[in-house]
Chains A and B, each alone.
Chain A
Amino acid sequence: MSTDTNNVDGYEHYYVPEQSAFPILASIGLFALIFGLATFFNELQAEATGAGRYIAIAGFAMLSATLFAWFRQTVVENMAGMNSVQLKRSYVWGMGWFIFSEVMFFAAFFGALYYVRNLAGPWLGGEGEKGQYMELAKMWVASGYEYAWPPMTTPDEAVNGAKALVQGAGEGNSMYPRDAHNGLALWLPMWNTILLLSSSVTVHIAHNGLKDGNRAKFQGWLFATVVLAIAFLYLQYMEYHEAYVDLGLTLESGIYGTTFFMLTGFHGFHVFLGMTMLLIMLLRSLKGHFSHDDCFGFEAASWYWHFVDVVWVCLFFFVYII
């Protein structure tokens, strides 16, 4: 019991913020964003023009402005020393579980890739337990469809030829090294792997710099990380450009295009988010934020960055190599 009383006496107050308008504003912004986006997509589908895009932009602006002000406020509170050690731990838990939720989001897409590659694909091609009656029932295989990964033709094409609604990208147009058009040395995913892996190292060095109280080292290496991130995004842009313009490999090229662009696309989007976070941390550091023992904002961004990096390694392996 005596220890308990001690604890109570030595207890820091947990900072519970006063009323705040941020949540409701953010909700309104988010609502406008998704309402606008949905309207916009439906307009695209119906080949109509309307207010959708403007509602979405307004919502996005409102949401980002609110989040900016919100984060700013938490930073200000922290620097004013209002946050107890315990509250800081809450932020740590929060970020950790947020990253876990992101992991599960990617898991859904990796799971889909696994399923179409190893189960549904072979079945469509008449292989395995679920493919055994495909021929008898005069399905795709009866028109000559054969399954292979990467599938550069679609079942639809096998049956309907040029009239098929879903056209594959054609032989030799995948993103695998065997199809590298400019030779292995210029195979972009390899360079992207190098860029991203080194960026994880640079962000780590930056962290060490901060812990040592060496601000120049911190900012320099953080800057290097951001540059590497931008380079990555640029190469990915080049890769997509090549796919769309030179190879005719698009989102619509059957399941290969689908999985390739969805996985790499969501990853690229997360790289962009992570890059933005790191950039903000760089700007904050330039304003003199962070100290060697109070830098969770930066640490959270760097965790996120490492997470993005790990996803890339999986991607590289499952989407580009095997």
Chain B
Amino acid sequence: MGDHGPAKGFGRWLFTTNHKDIGSMYLWFSFAMFLMGGVFALVIRAELFQPGLQLVEPEFFNQMTTMHGLVMVFGAVMPAFVGLANWLIPMMVGAPDMALPRMNNWSFWILPFAFTLLASTLFMEGGGPNFGWTFYAPLSTTYAPPSVTYFIFAVHIMGASSIMGSINIIATILNMRAPGMTLMKMPLFVWTWLITAYLLIAVMPVLAGCVTMMLMDIHFGTSFFSAAGGGDPVLFQHVFWFFGHPEVYIMILPAFGIASAIIPTFARKPLFGYASMVYATASIAFLSFIVWAHHMFTVGMPIAGELFFMYATMLIAVPTGVKVFNWVTTMFRGSMTFETPMLFAIAFVILFTIGGFSGLMLSIAPADFQYHDTYFVVAHFHYVLVPGAIFSIFAAVYYWLPKWCGNMYDERLGKAHFWLSFVGLNVTFFPMHFVGLAGMPRRIPDYALQFADFNQIASMGAFLFGFSQVFFLFIVIKTIRGGQKATDEVWDNPEGLEWTVASPAPYHTFTTPPAIK
């Protein structure tokens, strides 16, 4: 193939096999989903602004909660990371493209169809999925609205997309590295994605099995989740969380990779403990397979199970701690500047650690009897997901955007976006710890009077945070359309092959592999 540029018109995007095009499509798609999931969240926060039912009926509220969770997890965070992988991994390992470019495009194009189907369930008779993003049986089987069948199939094809995407990423990393790019020379983002892709291939099929069992129970009279026939509703939870727990690490490992790229650049110091970062990532991945039942401490497992899952879960703090300590030590005695990507990366480290601490508290089974299914859990997972996953994605976009489009973003606006988000986020989610501990259950459209004040604060924070993301959209578009030209290196002596090519990165990079030092 020649070195020509992209095709013209809309066909470029429909038919493309170029990893950069596909990466961009993933990122835009993910941002659209982020706004959609965010609007659902705002409906939730608006209803919870004060006690009583004002805006929505409980039935619709449950659909909002469910769709918010599903869209954010499967529509916003995961595709964003796949988009970053598409853009960056070939450039980071010195490959001309992804290993299987056509399949790459297929992985992407399945998603818009899957999410159109998922979102359309909201307009179907009986309403959309209303059983939480964890869709526990039998609420999601015997008692579900008819649209659950569409939901099941939407999950199936999302899973297919993820599996194909992951196969592609693994093949790219293992097979397409430039000569000399040994495994232990790969940037950590590549490492974390290699391990994430492995997790995805291991657990997405289990999710597929899970929804298949639901489908059979609903339509073909099987008894997986019904005690009357000899099955068990709790079986659903085991199968779901066998997928679900690794899934939450799928949403954080690439973020670890991003932080490990950004912090050294702005500390002007090599990453501390590269090798231990790799081993820590691998240990987290391994442990993530044997902790799933910490989401089920209250289902009444035999005590041996309870203890096993408690100990295994606690152990994850060790490798995660190694990562946090490595980042802090990377900053220690560096020469730091605080551009927007670095601000997001630092906030990531601090706030993710706070989320990790609340995770550790949740992992203490007896204490979880009080925390479980309260807003304390909601606070925990938003602290690891929003300043964790979402902030790392913002950091990545600010960090690599000049490489992608050739222009520098406006540093003043970027910093404003950071501070607005940082304040908004903490105002939204920090009070949730308090109402959770004080006893407010999650997934309720209305609450007792003593929770009113903190909920009001949280709702105001949510609107602040939400609108700052519209501001982010503005900044990105402004940068793409013009601005100060970026140099090839963009930053002060950053590490990695992507900085050796021009800005914006040419449509095809590394058609012959680069030499690796």
A interface vs B, CB < 8 Å? 1, 3-5, 7-8, 11, 13-24, 26-28, 30-31, 34-35, 37-38, 41-42, 44-46, 70, 86-87, 89-91, 93-94, 97-98, 100-102, 104-105, 107-109, 111-112, 115-116, 119-121, 123-124, 128-130, 140, 151, 154-156, 164-166, 250-252, 254-258, 261-262
Contacts and interface: CB of A to CB of B under 8 A. Distances in A.
Contact of A8 (B101, B113, B157, B513): B513
B506 to A, nearest CB: 14
Contact of B201 (A46, A104, A111, A129): A104
Nearest to A117: B230
A35 B238 contact: no
Contacts of A86: 175-176
Contact of B223 (A27, A93, A119, A255): A255
A18 B16 CA distance: 8
Nearest to A157: B228
Interface in B188-240: 201-206, 208-210, 213, 215-216, 218-224, 226-232, 234-235, 238-239
A94 B219 contact: no
Contacts of B206: 104-105, 107-108
A242 to B, nearest CB: 20
Interface in B8-34: 11-12, 14-18
Contacts of B146: 42, 45-46
B113 A27 contact: yes
Contacts of A24: 14-15, 105, 109
Contacts of A28: 113
Interface of B: 1, 7, 11-12, 14-18, 95-97, 99-103, 105-106, 108-110, 113-114, 117, 146, 149-150, 152-154, 156-157, 160, 163, 166-168, 170-172, 174-176, 179-180, 201-206, 208-210, 213, 215-216, 218-224, 226-232, 234-235, 238-239, 242, 300, 302-303, 508, 511-513, 515-516
Contacts of A27: 106, 109-110, 113
Given A27-B110, A94-B167, A258-B231, A8 B153 contact: no
B512 to A, nearest CB: 6
B216 A262 contact: yes
Given A5-B515, A23-B106, A258-B216, A129 B11 contact: no
B232 A115 contact: yes
A20 B96 CA distance: 18
A101 B163 contact: yes
Contact of B149 (A17, A41, A97): A41
Given A27-B106, A104-B205, A258 B14 contact: no
A235 B480 CA distance: 63
A28 B105 CA distance: 13
Contacts of B511: 13-14
A97 B201 contact: yes
Contact of A258 (B157, B168, B223, B242): B223
A214 to B, nearest CB: 31
A156 B508 CA distance: 64
Nearest to A66: B106
Given A38-B152, A154-B228, 13 more contacts: A3-B179, A14-B176, A23-B15, A24-B105, A41-B149, A45-B218, A90-B171, A104-B206, A105-B206, A107-B209, A112-B224, A129-B303, A166-B223
A116 B302 CA distance: 15
A16 B229 contact: no
Given A11-B512, A18-B1, A101-B205, A94 B231 contact: no
Given A14-B97, A22-B106, A255 B231 contact: yes
A30 B110 contact: yes
A37 B220 CA distance: 14
Q: 10 nearest interchain CB pairs? A: A108-B209, A255-B230, A252-B221, A120-B232, A23-B106, A156-B228, A105-B205, A7-B179, A34-B153, A19-B15
A258 B218 CA distance: 13
Given A17-B17, A17-B101, A155-B228, A109 B515 contact: no
Contact of B179 (A4, A101, A112, A257): A4
Nearest to B233: A120
20 contacts: A7-B513, A14-B176, A23-B109, A26-B106, A30-B160, A31-B110, A35-B117, A37-B153, A94-B100, A101-B167, A108-B210, A112-B235, A115-B232, A155-B229, A251-B220, A252-B222, A254-B229, A258-B216, A262-B216, A262-B222
A87 B101 CA distance: 11
A112 B456 CA distance: 44
Contacts of B215: 41
A152 to B, nearest CB: 10
A200 B135 CA distance: 40
Contacts of B108: 23
Given A7-B179, A38-B152, A98 B226 contact: no
Contacts of B229: 154-156, 166, 254-255, 258
Contact of A14 (B96, B219, B230): B96
Nearest to A261: B222
